[in-house]
Chains A and B, each alone.
Chain A
Amino acid sequence: MTAARNIARRELRNGFRDGLRGFRVFLACLTLGIAAIAAVGSVREAITEGLAREGATLLGGDASVEFTYRFADDAERAALASLGDVSEIVEFRSMVTVGEDRALTQIKAVDDVYPIYGDLILDPPGPLAATLQGDPPGAAMDPVLADRLGLQVGDMFTLGEKTFRLAARIESEPDNAGGGFDFGPRTLLFTDDLDGTGLIQPGTLYETEYRLRLPEGTDLDAAEARLDQALPDSGYRWRDSRNGAPGIAEFVERLSAFLVLVGLAGLAVGGIGVASAVRAHMVEKTATIATLKTVGAEARTLFTAFALQIGAITALAVVLGVALGAVLPLAFSPIIEDRLPVPAAISVYPLALVEAALYGTLAAALFTLWPLAKAQDIRAAALFREAGGMPAGLPRRGYLIATGVILVTLVAAAAVLSGIPTLTLYTAGGLLAAFLALLATAWATRKAARRLARMDAFKGHTALRTALGSVGGPSGEAAAVVLSLGLGLTVLAAVGQIDANLRAAIQRDLPEVAPAYFMVDIQPDQIDAIRALENDPQVEAVEAAPMLRGIITRINGQDAVEVGGDHWTLRGDRGVTYAEELDEDTKITAGEWWAADYDGPNQISFAAEEAAELGLKLGDTLTVNILGRDIEGEVTSFREVDFSTAGIGFVLAMNPSALEGAPHTWIATIYAEPEAEARILRDIAGDFPNITAIRVRDAIDQVSEILAGVAAAITYGASATLVTGAVVLIGAAAAGTKARTYEASILKTVGASRATILGSFALRWAILGLTSGLVAVFAGAAAGWGVSVFIMDTSFRFAPGSALAIIVGGVALTLVAGIAFAWGPLAARPAQILRARD
């Protein structure tokens, strides 16, 4: 061990004296990969911390209790008041009307206690009560909505059947980030002023929220328990400041997990650079290793010595990467904070850095073990022959097993730490498959190039033939370039294909099958008039269903969340419907639909796919809390429900007698020709001002916009992977300079002009770039197909635009790197180069 340590120390000393020349690509690749993961992790932690710190402001109180389309009754109000100060908020969607113009809005009706925390900033500035006071009553509006309707402060508009005055524009709403995704810009008014609008009727889809200011030092768990005890069957939803914006927190968590996966892909790309660097280093050390063996060094001693050396350089890369990853978010904190819709407490978060360091160390171990293990097989006899690179064949079995163990540990660590194990395994599998495909391609490219170089058709074209000869020749350059660049481009191609398909599914395919309007809050006495729209020649179809909102609270008498876990159907309230007959398009997959005049115990038909995910069986009982009342029923059938067409789809349907008595409204979807949309809206608005019409195209645009943001974030992440690929490429180009200088000198000697030589160099890089790009497009398309078909349940269509960009980009990148390093060899004087080799 002492001998190994001494050898390692001397090697390191020499390395540092030389400015770590052979290890620059190694350091750059590893540092970049670690820094990217550390930076993403740090921003994630910063958002989590920011959300926690600002939880009360985002939530609008220390705790919030939510009811679905009802107000709290007196007993509930009393129970809430016993905990602290209470502020009541009502939220629902409605339509703002200005003359003939109508727009969807999310109404937020508040009391004079609002906001408990944070500041509501209005334009013109002033306290809310004073601003909204007057006759007609005032309302504040999101500037986007006011501008769309052409409203100036002081102008009038109608909500339902009542006129309001635009009193102010909302500059900033402290509790807006917590609400998540809203289909409409905000209109803010006082709850008392809702009287006379006709908007809140039995069955209207609205939510009430009671925000609590708790005495300082209140134990939130104890407060929640107290309320649960006082109101055991109220069907409310409790949230508190520890998780003020759960939707956003989860979104951030998911997005950063994705980005970490992309970062790991970057580390894999960098790993190729690392492996190449170590391999080249060990080849350079052939004489040293052979000499040491001659004087009695054992293989194990040599492995330890060089492993210590590489380990020390890895440690340096980890320190640099972690430092860079910690500093970057701090340096860019003003930009990051400005861009994020949520508060972020940018700081140094040790856990995120440790995670990045762990990935970096494991990746370095994975990619350096193989060349290190091979180097110890160099024989002392190598001294007496021309050094011909590393010995052929696999390393010893122990090292193969160790490589496997490190790989499994790395994937397992990523699966556990990312919180999305399945996707991590898919990603790891995808990367491994891409890696193998690229390896096979590199091999095939070499074979093909060698064969092509000998084809008669290419004889006489010196530049092309020498380029093909070089690609097909015995050096390892082709493999290193195709692997590193190909893997980087594959990640980018996969992101591009997935993004293009997701957008296509939403923007291109969905409007073709989706209805024009989604109408909610239709009173039972209005539904016949809506159905009558079907007689309109420009209306293709009208579908309608009664709509209630309910929370599935129990499964077979047990707490639903305990049985079904974090399934989306159990999160908050869901639409519930009743129907006498089964819709003709719907298929029962198990059990039986109730008879037309069935009047017995309650029966439930559940969506088949979701039932399978929840583990439901026929005969199970479900308890659904609707309007504070528990309704129990037996699952008697499963049916297919397609949620992808934006039509009416209910997870849970019951027999009519179970729900008919409860106050409810109807929802309807109207399928109409695009040019008829405006007229239909005008007609309905005139006749039924309480009905809210959601234009599906608007909703699709909004979803598309969010997706575009997500895709942009992931593309940035994937670009970081490509940067690492570019570093490896530059490393390969730089490493080959010596060989190309030699080649150029010989070619000049036998009469080649510089243009011919440059052409040959450019062609060989273009061939490698084209190959990498083509494989990346195929691998990316395969990944895109997998994600589209298996994860997103949509069809896959190859996106040629993204593919072309990848191929052109691949060729351009290799050409730039290759040509940048061609000038040295081109300018070299052959006499000196050739004589130096004599």
Chain B
Amino acid sequence: MSDTILSLEKADLTLDGNAGPVDILKDITLDVRRGETLGLVGPSGSGKSSLLMVMGGLERATGGKVHALGQDLTAMNEDALARFRRSHMGVVFQSFHLIPTMTALENVATPLELAGHADAFDRAAEELSAVGLGKRMNHYPSELSGGEQQRVALARAAAPRPEILLADEPTGNLDGPTGQTIMDLLFDLNARHGATLILVTHAPDLAARCSRTIRLVDGRLDRQAEAAE
């Protein structure tokens, strides 16, 4: 089995803005190794989150290639990408992004259910208990605090046991201690299940916990920083 779980080859992302096309990512070539924890850092607007979205197939690269687990994400249509994520990827966002019309349990069960797991709800319940929300399963997102919502989001991302975990500033909307708990849970997932964790963050201490960090500046990889690592 190859050691590279995710690779980008000369990947570009250009989006249409009001004032014309905007180059978000330029010429990104990058390999992510299985099981590593990779921190994406850089100033605001440097393209960190966009790069994470491209890695997750949530944004389609407008140039170059993106491979995950040996499959070419740039060649897949939207539904194929969705099916791929269902089995291999978990995503955690800064703003949690839970479905407001579903309870915590239903939110966590949904990806399992989509992947055809007959025990989706039992596993979802276990996962929620694992993040300390065993007693809040039937609450709607609006009835949960920010930290609790992020724990639900984390449980949802982790439940299908994905090989790749993408986290976009998962503690950005949380206070210090709550953020710490979330990060512990995330790194614990990496440690226990061997999931590759790719983390966008502004926080230097979080970046420091990663096995590797790469820095983006103006949509390009800062090779000097990488070399300095």
Show the binding face of A for B, using Cβ within 8 Å: 388, 453-454, 459-460, 462, 465-466, 469-470, 472-475, 739, 742-743, 745-756, 829-832, 834-835, 837-838
Q: How far is A832 from B120 in the complex, measured between Cα atoms in Å?
A: 29
Tell whether, in the assembled complex, residue B79 and residue A460 are in contact, meaning their CB atoms are under 8 Å apart: no
CB-contacts of B62-116 with A (<8 A): 78-79, 82-87, 91, 93-95, 97-103, 106, 109-111, 113-116
Q: Which residues of B contact A832 (CB under 8 A)?
A: 59
Cβ contact within 8 Å between B109 and A459: yes
Residue B187, interface by CB 8 Å: no
Given known contacts A460-B120, A469-B106, A749-B91, A831 and B53 CB-to-CB distance under 8 angstroms:
yes
Instruction: Tell yes or no: B217 within 8 A of A by CB.
Output: no
Please judge, given known A-B contacts A473-B140, A750-B86, A838-B93, whether A465 and B100 are in contact too, CB under 8 Å: no
CB of A392 to closest CB in B, whole Å: 13
Tell me, rounded to whole Å, the shortest Cβ–Cβ distance linking A749 to chain B.
Answer: 5
* Closest chain A residue to B101, Cβ basis: A473
In the assembled complex, the Cα of A753 lies from the Cα of B77 at a distance in Å of 10
Contact A473 B102 (CB under 8 A): yes
Interface readout for B125-159 with A: 1 if CB under 8 Å, 0 if not?
00000000000001010100000000000001000
Q: Which of these, A453, A473, A831, contacts B58 with CB under 8 Å? A: A831
CB contact between B106 and one of A465, A753, A835 (< 8 Å): that residue: A465
A756 CA to B82 CA, complexed, in Å? 11
Task: Tell me how far the C-beta of A693 lies from the nearest C-beta in chain B, rounded to whole angstroms.
Answer: 70
Q: Is B50 a contact partner of A831 (Cβ separation < 8 A)?
A: yes
Please name all residues of chain B whose beta carbon is closer than 8 Å to the beta carbon of A748 when the two chains form the complex.
Answer: 58, 78, 82
Taking a contact as CB atoms under 8 Å apart, the answer to whether B114 and A750 are in contact is yes
Known: A460-B120, A746-B98, A753-B79. A453 touches B113 (CB 8 A): no
A453 nearest CB neighbor, chain B only? B106
Q: Would you give the shortest CB distance from B167 to chain A, in whole angstroms?
A: 13
Report B229 CB to chain A, min CB distance, Å: 27
**How far apart are B81's CB and chain A's nearest CB, in angstroms?**
8
B-side residues, CB < 8 A to A, are 49-50, 53, 56, 58-59, 78-79, 82-87, 91, 93-95, 97-103, 106, 109-111, 113-116, 118, 120-121, 138, 140, 142, 156, 160, 168-169, 172
Q: Are B95 and A837 in contact (CB under 8 A)?
A: yes
Q: Is the Cβ of B114 less than 8 Å from the Cβ of A752?
A: yes
A743 contacts B99, CB within 8 Å? yes
9 A–B pairs (Cβ distance < 8 Å), ordered by A: A474-B140, A474-B142, A745-B97, A749-B56, A751-B111, A752-B110, A754-B78, A831-B58, A835-B168
Contact B99 A459 (CB under 8 A): no
Q: Which residues of chain B are near A475, meaning CB under 8 Å?
A: 100-101
Q: How far is the CA of A834 from the CA of B95 in the complex (A)?
A: 8
> 8 closest Cβ contacts across the A-B interface?
A751-B86, A473-B101, A831-B53, A831-B59, A750-B111, A831-B58, A753-B79, A470-B101
Complex CA–CA separation, A753 to B78 (angstroms): 8
A750 in complex: contacting residue of B59, B85, B100, B168, CB < 8 Å: B85
CB pair A834 B97 closer than 8 Å: yes
Tell me which of B110, B121, B169 has the highest count of chain A C-beta atoms within 10 A of its own C-beta: B110
Query: Smallest distance from the beta carbon of A758 to chain B beta carbons, Å?
Result: 11
Apart from A752-B82, A837-B97: 14 A-B pairs, beta carbons within 8 A: A388-B142, A454-B138, A460-B113, A462-B114, A466-B102, A474-B100, A474-B101, A746-B99, A750-B114, A751-B87, A831-B50, A831-B59, A837-B95, A838-B172
Interface centre among B50, B103, B113, B118 (most CB of A within 10 A): B113
CB distance from B10 to the nearest CB of A (A): 20
Which of A462, A742, A837, A838 is within 8 Å of B113, CB to CB?
A462
Q: Which of A472, A474, A755, A829 contacts B59 (CB 8 A)?
A: A829
**Known contacts being A466-B99, A753-B83, A837-B95, is A830 close to B58, with CB within 8 Å?**
yes
Residues of A within 8 A of B53 (CB): 831, 835
A753 to chain B, nearest CB (A): 4
User: Whole-angstrom distance from the CB of B1 to the nearest CB of chain A?
Assistant: 23
Assembly CA distance A593 to B135 (angstroms): 84
With known contacts A751-B83, A752-B114, A754-B79, A834–B93 Cβ distance under 8 A: yes
CB-CB under 8 A from A472, the residues of chain B are 101
Q: What's the least CB distance linking B174 to chain A, in Å?
A: 13
Q: Which of A460, A462, A743, A830 contacts B101 (CB 8 A)?
A: A743
Instruction: Output the nearest chain A residue to B50 by Cβ-Cβ distance.
Output: A831
List A contacts of B85 (CB < 8 A). Answer: 749-751
Q: Which residues of A contact B95 (CB under 8 A)?
A: 834, 837-838
Q: How far is A453 from B169 in the complex, measured between Cα atoms in Å?
A: 32
Q: A459 vs B160: C-alpha distance in the bound complex, in angstroms? A: 16
- Which A residue's beta carbon lies closest to that of B88? A751
Chain A residues within 8 Å of B109, by CB: 459
Q: Give Cα distance in the complex from A748 to B138, angstroms.
A: 23
Report the bound CA distance from A189 to B58 in whole Å: 88
Contacts of B49 in A (CB 8 A): 835, 838
Q: Roughly how many angstroms separate A459 CA and B98 CA in the complex, as a whole number?
A: 19
- Taken together as a complex, chains A and B put the C-alpha atoms of A460 and B109 apart, in Å, by 9
Determine the chain A residues whose CB is within 8 A of the CB of B120 once the complex forms.
459-460
Which of B78, B120, B160: most chain A CB closer than 10 A? B78
Return A613 CB to nearest CB of chain B, in Å: 57
A481: min CB distance to chain B, Å: 14
Q: A residues within 8 A CB of B172?
A: 838
Complex Cα distance A834/B97, Å?
Answer: 7
Residues of A within 8 A of B56 (CB): 749
Closest to B81 in A: A748
Give Cα A754–Cα B56 distance, bound, in whole angstroms.
17
CA distance A472 to B100 in the complex (A): 11
Smallest beta-carbon distance B17→chain A, Å: 12
A residues near B84, Cβ cutoff 8 Å: 751
- Max chain B CB contacts within 10 Å: which of A475, A746, A751? A751
CB contact under 8 A between A747 and B110, given known A459-B121, A835-B49: yes
Contacts of B115 in A (CB 8 A): 751
A475 to B93, CA, bound (A): 23
Which one of B82, B95, B168 has the highest number of Cβ atoms from chain A below 10 Å of its Cβ?
B82
Decide: A755 and B79 in contact? CB cutoff 8 A. Answer: yes
Could you tell me if A751 and B114 are in contact, using CB atoms closer than 8 angstroms?
Answer: yes
